Amino acid sequence: MNSLLAGRDACVVMPTGGGKSLCYQLPAAMTPGRTAIVVSPLIALMQDQTAQLEQMGVPAAVLNSSQTASEQSTILRNAKTGRYRLLYLSPERLARPDSLTWLRETPISYFVIDEAHCISEWGHEFRPEYRQLHSLRKQFPDRPIAAFTASATRQVRHDIVEQLQLRDADKYIASFQRPNLRYRVKHCDPKSQHALLLRAAEHYADSNIIIYAPTITRVEETVAFLKHNGIAAIGYHAKMDSAKRRKNQQRWMSDEVRVLVGTIAFGLGINKAAVRAVIHLSLPKSIEQYYQEAGRAGRDGEPADCLLLWQKRDVGLLTYFVEQLTDPAEKARAWQRYHIIRNFVESKSCRHRQICVHFGETPKWMACNACDVCSGAPDWLSAKPIKKRKLGESKVLTKKTKIAAQSPIAAPPVPADANAELREHLREWRWSISRELGMPAFIVMHDTTLDELCKARPSTLAELRGVSGFGDRKVQKYGSQILAALKNFGSKPRGAGAG
């Protein structure tokens, strides 16, 4: 943050959930009259971040092709006047010749390149359109450029600095160890994989789970398999229309359905803290991909499991995709990634240490006590699954909240020091507000903020302002309604149902 406020270039590598967005959003919020231009690859991610910023009272916008010509014109006019603190663009939009014209008329504070590993051919998600971003230095020589990524090896980091022509960049490289994550790797056949998947689902019956499948067909088969076993699950893949994908994502983000099965199309920039398990049903194509996807678990700092269930047939699928590549250099890099991930799953060395070493970190410890190699498999992974249990099935909600009764939600795990009935009561209120405003429930209020409300039980706006997660804007927007909901709950006889 200090680097950006001082006008310096920066290269920032932090794990998923490490606070990268805050690093560039807060300095932008502190710079009135100027706009931080954020280059990001996903429309949905940009829209969610913009909505969250607006909820906090930070003027922000996203410019993309899904908007009408009139909407785009309004955003461009506002940008030229310095109205926004942050403006989100795709790399394709930034590369358009007309974009350079209006950007030169915009008071820019700095440029942010999110998911910056996409600029490197050595990265696991190389995108050619990112290469065009090197022109920013030439076109805007006096504006700082900051690159952010969660998964870049030392070689990729050097490539990012070189491609973006960063000048004496301040480098911030956080540790790649996520000590609260427990890596479990198991070689399976199709039958044992199904059994292990059910065990994991049963163990986390009241928690959020992400399941990654390698193909669209496997996504649909897995959703059907889980439903057949009484487990409510929804899918997410590229062949769904965008409205359906977004609806499924919001249902999962809002805890309406606990289990989401997706291809790698799901998850980039997902801001959900309380994911208790990420399960891979095949070999990822690289350590970077696995680290990024598994890292979507446990963003709240609480323990979470990363379960990788791979089969021999995954090897054939990966090698098939590598052989389809025609560029010799690209194929060589793909083979290198393949051998590294294959060694990762077959090695008897500490999983955490392997990951750290891969990213250029040299831990002083040899064992983590948080992976299958160092501590063995947990008891629940060996126990027989309970067949046909209804996982994630919606509760019957109180009739007093009509919208919640129409859209019942499964309750999340409740912290020991939070009142379960009160939390459900507040979740019900949040769901109603989110439907009324047409936005995901997590944007209205995060689960962690709900927990803080249950602990604090504020009775005045001043007390509410002291609850973590509430700034002036949220107190002004929702304060009176929240206090009314808390008062209403307090007047109910216990056991009468809180929704």
Give the tens place of pLDDT for each residue, 447-484: 778 888 888 999 999 999 899 888 888 888 899 999 98
pLDDT of the residue at 297: 93
Q: Is residue 20 part of a domain?
A: yes
Which range marks the domain in which residue 113 is found?
2-173
Q: What are the tokens at 240? A: 């769904």
Pair 340, 439 in one domain: no
Q: Is residue 390 part of a domain?
A: no
Q: Is residue 387 part of a domain?
A: no
User: How buried is residue 242: exposed, middle or buried, by Cβ count under 10 Å (0-12/13-18/19+)?
Assistant: exposed
**CATH number of the domain within which 311 lies:** 3.40.50.300
Which of 176 and 431 is assigned the larger pLDDT?
A: 176
pLDDT of the residue at 407: 33
Give the tens place of pLDDT for each residue, 380-397: 887 665 555 444 443 332
Residue 298: phi and psi, rounded to 5, are 65, 30
Q: Is residue 395 part of a domain?
A: no
Q: Are strands 145-149 and 10-13 parallel, antiparallel or unpaired?
A: parallel
pLDDT band at 146 (very low <50, low <70, confident <90, very high): very high
Domain boundary (115, 150, 173) is at 173
Q: Is residue 208 part of a domain?
A: yes
pLDDT of the residue at 104: 94
Give, in degrees to the nearest 5, the angle at Cα 359 between 377 and 149: 105
pLDDT band at 65 (very low <50, low <70, confident <90, very high): confident
Pair 186, 143 in one domain: no
59, 83 contact by CB (below 8 A)? yes
Pair 221, 318 in one domain: yes
Pair 287, 411 in one domain: no
Rounded mean pLDDT of the chain? 86
Which residues sit opposite 60 in a β-bridge?
Answer: 86
Q: Tell me what the mean pLDDT of segment 138-149 comes to.
A: 95
Domain boundary (381, 412, 437) is at 381
Q: Tell me what the mean pLDDT of segment 342-368 comes to.
A: 94
pLDDT of the residue at 262: 93
Give the tens place of pLDDT for each residue, 230-281: 999 999 998 998 889 888 888 888 778 999 999 987 765 567 878 999 999 9
The rounded distance, in Å, linking the Cα atoms of 253 and 273 is 10
Q: Is residue 88 part of a domain?
A: yes
pLDDT of the residue at 127: 86
Pair 114, 209 in one domain: no
- The number of domains in the chain is 3
Residue 38: phi and psi, rounded to 5, are -105, 120
Q: Tell me what the mean pLDDT of segment 149-168 comes to.
A: 93
Q: Is residue 391 part of a domain?
A: no
Q: Tell me what the mean pLDDT of segment 484-489 comes to.
A: 87
Judged by DSSP in three states, 262 sits in strand
Host H or E run for residue 489: helix 472-490
The rounded distance, in Å, linking the Cα atoms of 148 and 20 is 7
Q: Is the pLDDT of residue 416 over 70?
A: no
Pair 333, 425 in one domain: no
Pair 306, 228 in one domain: yes
Q: Tell me what the mean pLDDT of segment 64-81 comes to.
A: 91
Pair 298, 222 in one domain: yes
pLDDT of the residue at 269: 54
| Amino acid occupying residue 61 | A
The rounded distance, in Å, linking the Cα atoms of 241 and 165 is 38
- Among 170, 260, 166, 265, smallest CA distance to 211 is for 260
The tally of CA atoms less than 13 A away on the side-chain side of residue 222 is 32
Q: Is residue 241 part of a domain?
A: yes
Pair 299, 205 in one domain: yes
Pair 124, 193 in one domain: no
Domain boundary (125, 141, 173) is at 173
Q: Which residues contact 78 (CB under 8 A, 6 or more apart)?
A: 61, 84
**CATH number of the domain within which 429 lies:** 1.10.150.80
pLDDT band at 412 (very low <50, low <70, confident <90, very high): very low
Q: Is the pLDDT of residue 403 over 70?
A: no
Give the tens place of pLDDT for each residue, 220-230: 999 999 999 99
pLDDT of the residue at 468: 85
pLDDT of the residue at 491: 64
pLDDT band at 406 (very low <50, low <70, confident <90, very high): very low
Q: Is the pLDDT of residue 432 over 60?
A: yes
Pair 253, 352 in one domain: yes
pLDDT of the residue at 354: 96
Pair 169, 229 in one domain: no
